[in-house]
Amino acid sequence: MLRAGAGVLLGAMLVAGCGGSGGSGDDKGPGPDGTADSASHVSRAAIDVAPGDGAKDVPATGGLRVTVDGGTLTGVTARSADGTAVPGALSDDAHTWRPTGRLSLATRYSVDAYAVDDQGRPAAKHADFTTTVPQHTFIGFFTPENDSTVGVGMIVSLKFNRPITDKKAVEDGVRVTASPSVPVTGHWFGSQRLDLRPRDYWAAGTRVTLQLRLRDVEGAPGVYGTQSKDVRFTIGRDQRSTVDAAAHTLVVRRGGTVLRTLPASTGAPAHTTYDGVMVIAEKYAVTRMNGQTVGFGGEYDIPDVPHAMRLTSSGTFVHGNYWSPAGVFGTTNVSHGCIGLRDVKGGSSQTPAGWFFDHSLIGDPIRVLNSHDRTVAADNGMGGWNLSWEQWQAGSAL
């Protein structure tokens, strides 16, 4: 209301000053030296815009202020180069205007300020300035991918390229919403990883949005975020699988109904498979598995493992196995910790491994029982489901 009113008032004053009184004979004539007596038309309102015109490296907070001496402000408009208005507030005495929020970094702004003196004579001032360009920035690499369809066990994960010290500020800039609605909470693993999940598995068909509002958030001293984007994904059908290491089976349930029971082989006694919930994080039609990459030296190096799906960042997979005798599946545990399903060299959709690969999504949970190993760590892949809701909430900075 103030800006609109100020514009009308300023326009009226300018018309009166330029057009005179329409020839009524009351205008002041030329002075003794033949010049117009213009002093009576000069406003005594002196506007100051801080920072000054052309200023650079202006901070995002505390750097912008408009004041007037000898008058009152009638309107202030501040905009970024893309036209986005800067919200602000006028002091009670109309002598000072300040923005009510942060400015964006690395952004050019323009300010137009208007005032009148005690005689109603208008004054105006324009200034341009540029905010600080941060030398150090951070971003969060997120999963799952935009527009993907994932399983009910999917955990949203952000891995930051720099250590975060102000976890509260960063977590406050991250929001996960769902339809149908469900509370979602974050949990920090160290200073560079933030995972977010609901209390229980997602409901099938849920539409989820990850909102990143990290632009200009100071995650550590002098280190600012650059992201402002939305990531959307959908929860697919409800498929959950259970591996019983003692029974040597992998039971696939969809919507609570057993879809298929597959003979499996888990970790041998010297290399047992983790117990607990693991979630499919990656899928590879074929991949190389080398024992040297996971601490097993030269015990194995298989260049063409078919139908491989990663369960942990430490190297646990559920995958096809064509090199072991067919009789071990369903009877004996022979792996180095992975869950093996019968397959053929080159892979086939007709084998148990091929069928499970084709019927699985990234985000599908797999629970391992009776392996007699420790429960997989919460930060090893998407192991966060092994924490209670209270334990999970305790890891939030908010």
User: Residue 319 catalytic?
Assistant: yes
What is the distance between the alpha carbons of residues 128 and 111, in angstroms, rounded to a whole number? 6
Per annotation, catalytic residue among 187, 307, 336, 338: 338
At 238, give phi and psi (nearest 5°).
-90, 95
* Among 187, 307, 319, 336, the one annotated catalytic: 319
Helix (H) or strand (E) holding 14: helix 2-19
CA distance linking residue 305 with residue 344, whole number of Å: 10
Q: How crowded is the C-beta side of 318, counted as CA atoms within 13 Å?
A: 33
**Per the structure block, which two tokens stand in for 295?**
């601490």
Using the Cα atoms of residue 288, residue 291, residue 297 and residue 301 in order, give the sign of their dihedral. Answer: negative
Number of neighbouring beta carbons within 10 Å of residue 365: 22
- Cross-strand pairs, 128: 110
* 18 in catalytic set: no
Q: Are strands 136-138 and 223-225 parallel, antiparallel or unpaired?
A: parallel
- Three-class SS of residue 136? strand
**What does the alpha-carbon distance between residue 357 and residue 12 come to, in Å, rounded to a whole number?**
75
Q: Which residues lie across from 208 on neighbouring strands?
A: 178, 233
DSSP string covering 197-245, please?
A: EESSPPPTT-EEEEEEE-TT-EEETTEEE--EEEEEEEE---EEEEEET
Give the catalytic positions in this structure: 319, 338
